[in-house]
Structure 1
Amino acid sequence: MSEQRKKNEKNFLVQGSILAIAGVITKLIGAFYRIPLLNIIGTEGNGYYSVAFSIYSVALMLTSYSLPLAVSKLVSARVAVGEYKNAHKIFRGAMTFALLAGGLVALLVFFGADFIATTVMHLDKSAYALRVLAPCILVVALLGVLRGFFQGIGTMIPTAISQVIEQIVNAVVSIVGAYVLLNAGKAVGKTHGDKSFGPAYAAAGGTLGTVLGALSALIFVGIVFLAYNKVFKRKMKNDTSKRTEGYKRVYKVLFITIAPVILSATVYNISDFVDTALFNNIMAAQGFTKKEYASLLGIFQGQYSTLINVPLSISSALAASLVPSLVATVQTGNRKQVHDKINMVSRFNMLIAIPCAVGFVTLAKPILDLLYFTQDNTTAALMLQLGALSVVFFCLSTVTNSVLQGLDDMMTPVKNAAISLAIHIVALFIMLVVLKWNIYAVVLSKIIFAGAICILNAKALRSRIGYVQEKKKTFAIPALAAVIMGVIAMLVHLIFELFISPYIATLLALVAAVITYGVAIVALGGITESELKGMPKGALLVKICRKLHLIRGEYR
């Protein structure tokens, strides 16, 4: 392995880790602010909040979800060969697309909120929250282009910092907005004789944080871009490449890249929208009240999804950092290097996803009771235990989707996600209508959906580049280490719960879990010394492991 290759791989891991750390921080902030938010708006309000977000998510997929990936891919391909002028044209073209698409969809959602909420989602009062979210569609589209540009030139720092800023503002404004509008909604409810106005208005107040959070992030990244633009302009002046792309070609390339990513992202992520619409309509047909199924959705999104999304954010961060790096590697034509890079990011993903899944199975109720101490978490805990396996499948499918897109195989993820979605919808319908599994049907159907994508993507990668996922270090060793971790964590929790507060017992069990897993994964050979050195603070990690005699032999 050349020194340059080692340097590139280390930078890839560092940049991926920066984004992953930011993802964890934002998800933790999200998990903690959702506690007081859920206490304010209640499970009914959280149901309205969740329905609005499922529609908002579809709008983002159509306008901005694809932009960071597409822009980073196209910019990195041009920067890699010194075409800075063409890279800048890609950026300007993407900004134009964001303005037009984001603005148009934002207007459609704003003015069509009542029709969508009432006719499609069967939960009319979610329209208030949806209307507040509508302007955010444009903001996020512009933000996505700027983040994609920085990822394309090889830095994740602006994206990472902006994510943290966005979530902090989101947390503060959401709580304040929900509290203020709850009281306003209660006053309206008294006038109309309908207590549901309080939770509905509170949900709208909660979504206000999303809008102002995204706007704050846009302002920050915009300032960073203006500062960096001077440096980039100097690089453009020194650009001696002869290939100059006209804007007609730029828009064509953007469309060819964005359209499949939009299709893939829409099919891949539209399951939330489909689940919500199908669940609401079937539950209504089975005689449940709007308040009942809104509350179940509130538990699903407010407690279950919030925790599940923490490991998924790490996977998304690694996938985002993989694409520019993979594009550059593909251009070298070295298949072994491409395989090594895919294997590295897949293993890193599973090292995190598998213990998280085991942790959710073993400590679901204690974790939920620690975070949502004012709620009855029995239903949410069972959801978390049943759906824990989806963490592994979703993390792996996110990475394999990004790999296929990085290989310029844009339509295969679309086809695979569409097939998986069809299987998912059939399974969900059977579990809701025939088996009557209620909200648990939604949880279990997601495992089927993500698992199907993993199988189809693995087959596509084997056919496309002959890649076969390594099993022992990627799955077997992390699974064994995670089982050991789960047993130790349960024992620690059971012992300390007898003598001290169950909340402190949970914290101690989590600390014991992290330490146990770290020791077990190194002792079992899941991570080598050279791989540890390639991580942030790798030298220190190696030193600690050697002191604990987890790594033997001579220094390498």
Structure 2
Amino acid sequence: MARRSKNGDASFIMQGSILAIASIVSRIVGLLYRVPLTATIGDSGNGYYAAAYEIYNIILLISSYSIPLAVSKLVSARIAKGHVKDATRVLHGALIFAFISGGLAAGVVYFGAEFFTGVILKKSLAAIALKVLAPTLLVVAILGVFRGFFQGLGTMIPSAISQIGEQIVNAIVSVVAANALFSYGKKVGGVLGDVDEYAAAFGAAGGTLGTSTGAFFALIFILFIFYAFSKMLKKMVKRDKHRSTESYFEIFSVLILTILPVLLSTTVYNISSLIDQGIFNNVSLLQGYSEKESNALFGIFAGKYRVLINVPLAIASAMATSIVPSLTSAFNSGDEKLVRKQVNMGNRFVMIVAFPCAVGMMVLSSPIMQLLFNDSSRTASMMFVIGGCSIVFYSLSTLSNAILQGIDRMITPVKNAFIALVAHVLVLLALMFIFDLNIYAVVVANAFYALMMCFLNQSAVLRYSGAYIDIRRVVLAPFEASAIMGVVVLLMYKTFNALFALALSARIANAIACLLSILIGAIVYFLALFFFKGIDEETLLKFPGGARLCDIAYSLHLLR
């Protein structure tokens, strides 16, 4: 057991890295296809797309979002004891649960689409996109069970590969279907009297069709992987000699008791986006904005700002997913030292990535918007300047959420999320009614919510795990290195942009200057991180390609 724990220490970072790379690739693919998608459906289409997704995400949270984490936790705990038969019973019980919860959720969303979008969000045309998304709820529920099962076995590779494949299929189908349905929507709008809005709404439905198709592809792929693995699983079951096998009643009981706290936590944690949209749309109408204006503004927030913010957050999500099985195993075996070490390592890994991403997006907000969306408006770039810091807060709170669940403090994140949500709503209302900040109120309130969750969760993690966070290495070092990187990136961008603008068009000059300054910034950050002692050989080796990075560091005399 001790040897397993030691392996688990290095393993969860590596497995998290694999999933993080897959998540980043998926988010980048998602970001890239949103560029032509946005060009087709516009900010209004993004508004309908976002409205449909808010409803879909909340129902997904309630019905099946917590399934992968719960299955992973339960399977990991049983595999750690050598109880493979019980682990397979968890799989079977979870599949039954997924069919029931996913099927009910799909029916509710499909038949209640007009109510959700028209009555709650005041965007009735978003019902078209929401109905297309409805069957995805069943597919994702079943998919989540298999992903959670493999994660509980200690491998993130099936989840990683299926995630990338899902996003690639999603991207292709979304762009093609959005163009086709946008044209169809124009014809419908020509008959019903509002060409632009119907075209945008049907185009958004094309985008959501990609989500459904991608999820179905991922399910087929992971079923194939499971079929290939089934022979090995049968051998593992035969080697399991323990006699007191858990009954399906016991499995269902522990499954539901595990899912419910995770469900409550993730629902409260993520419902803020739906509340944001509901409050913003209704208050904007009261303040004299038209439905079309508020829809376009929220489309910028959801379709540009939040899409970009979510790319670096993939690191924290991946690390959170990978840390639960190893933490559960260490916690159940009573290895307090390993629990503390994993908590520290997880926080350190996430902060090394989150800080430079936050600073980079704040410094290059306008160039990035011009590069990706050809958007030079002040509205879009100011969102990143104001809310870029939330990348750090959301990264820490996402990881700490999973850590608390891994050490069996399941209710704590629920309480923290509820406290933060209430404060978030009060701040949002004050910023909109008193300060009239409009869409910027949503950005500030989101950053405040993330900060509250970060503080409450981290306090609980330190209290219950006994871990101690090395502020110098975990927080100050990446912050200082990121600050230097930010100054260099800004100076490099301005210099390159001015030079290339003499011979090239403004858009091409911006693109080259932006990419070159980001590349130089990454190198500067890497060097500065060693200077401020924010990374050492042990940590570097746990990164993908860590051995090669160590060789480079030694050759540059950064490591001794």
C-alpha distance in 2 between matches for 1:414 and 1:145: 22
Map Cα deviations across residues 450-490 of structure 1 (whole Å, 9 max, x no partner). 11111111222233233342211111000000011111111
Matched residue, 2:230: 229
| SS of residue paired to 2:65 | coil
Map Cα deviations across residues 306-350 of structure 1 (whole Å, 9 max, x no partner). 110011111000000000010111122122211110010011000
Kept in 2, the 8 Å contact 1:458–1:468? The answer is: no
Matched residue, 2:297: 296
The 10-residue stretch of structure 1 (8-17 or 356-365) with the greater mean CA deviation from structure 2 = 8-17
Written as runs of structure 1 = structure 2, the 5 A alignment for 1:433-512 is: 433-500=433-500, 501-512=509-520
1:243 aligns with 2:251: no
C-alpha distance in 2 between matches for 1:481 and 1:414: 34
Matched residue, 1:48: 48
Matched residue, 2:505: none
Identity across aligned pairs (percent)? 46
Kept in 2, the 8 Å contact 1:432–1:438? The answer is: yes
Map Cα deviations across residues 356-407 of structure 1 (whole Å, 9 max, x no partner). 111011111111111112x344211100111111100100000111011001
| SS of residue paired to 2:534 | coil
C-alpha distance in 2 between matches for 1:226 and 1:4: 27
Written as runs of structure 1 = structure 2, the 5 A alignment for 1:167-206 is: 167-195=167-195, 196-206=197-207
1:332 aligns with 2:333: yes
C-alpha distance in 2 between matches for 1:49 and 1:131: 12
> Which letter maps to 2:435?
L
Written as runs of structure 1 = structure 2, the 5 A alignment for 1:368-407 is: 368-373=369-374, 375-407=375-407
Matched residue, 1:317: 318
Kept in 2, the 8 Å contact 1:523–1:551? The answer is: no
Q: Which runs of 5+ in 2 are unaligned?
A: 501-508
> Which letter maps to 1:411?
I
Matched residue, 1:113: 113
Q: How far is 1:157 from its partner? A: 0.4
C-alpha distance in 1 between matches for 2:32 and 2:465: 43
Change (3 A) 1:5 1:112: closer
Written as runs of structure 1 = structure 2, the 5 A alignment for 1:198-277 is: 198-277=199-278
> Which letter maps to 2:307?
T
Matched residue, 1:11: 11
1:529 aligns with 2:529: no
C-alpha distance in 2 between matches for 1:52 and 1:194: 20
Map Cα deviations across residues 492-525 of structure 1 (whole Å, 9 max, x no partner). 1111111111210111000011111111112221
C-alpha distance in 1 between matches for 2:351 and 2:470: 12
Query: Which ranges of 4 or more aligned residues in structure 1 deviate by more than 4 Å?
Result: 2-6
C-alpha distance in 2 between matches for 1:534 and 1:174: 36
Q: Which runs of 5+ in 1 are unaligned?
A: none
Q: How far is 1:3 from its partner? A: 6.7
Q: How far is 1:201 from its partner? A: 0.7
Matched residue, 2:503: none
1:305 aligns with 2:313: no
Q: How far is 1:189 from its partner? A: 0.6
C-alpha distance in 2 between matches for 1:382 and 1:491: 19
Kept in 1, the 8 Å contact 2:152–2:325? The answer is: yes
Q: What is the count of residue pairs matched by the alignment?
A: 550
C-alpha distance in 2 between matches for 1:435 and 1:379: 17
| SS of residue paired to 1:64 | helix
Map Cα deviations across residues 173-226 of structure 1 (whole Å, 9 max, x no partner). 001111001111111111111121110111111110000000000100011011
C-alpha distance in 2 between matches for 1:277 and 1:164: 32
Matched residue, 1:549: 557
Kept in 2, the 8 Å contact 1:461–1:468? The answer is: no
Kept in 1, the 8 Å contact 2:53–2:130? The answer is: yes
Q: How far is 1:539 from its partner? A: 2.1
Kept in 1, the 8 Å contact 2:18–2:544? The answer is: no
Give the TM-score of the pair, scaled to structure 1.
Answer: 0.97
> Which letter maps to 1:536?
P
C-alpha distance in 1 between matches for 2:465 and 2:498: 55
Written as runs of structure 1 = structure 2, the 5 A alignment for 1:68-79 is: 68-79=68-79
Q: How far is 1:286 from its partner? A: 1.4
Written as runs of structure 1 = structure 2, the 5 A alignment for 1:49-198 is: 49-195=49-195, 196-198=197-199
Q: How far is 1:39 from its partner? A: 0.4
C-alpha distance in 1 between matches for 2:4 and 2:67: 30
| SS of residue paired to 2:544 | coil
C-alpha distance in 2 between matches for 1:533 and 1:134: 43
The 10-residue stretch of structure 1 (329-338 or 183-192) with the greater mean CA deviation from structure 2 = 329-338
Kept in 2, the 8 Å contact 1:110–1:134? The answer is: yes
C-alpha distance in 2 between matches for 1:358 and 1:420: 24
C-alpha distance in 2 between matches for 1:353 and 1:177: 34
Please report the RMSD computed on the Cα atoms of aligned residues, expressed in angstroms. Answer: 1.1
Map Cα deviations across residues 38-75 of structure 1 (whole Å, 9 max, x no partner). 00000001100001000000011011210110000000
Give the TM-score of the pair, scaled to structure 2.
Answer: 0.97
Map Cα deviations across residues 134-162 of structure 1 (whole Å, 9 max, x no partner). 11111111111010000000100000000
> Which letter maps to 1:364?
S
C-alpha distance in 2 between matches for 1:525 and 1:470: 12
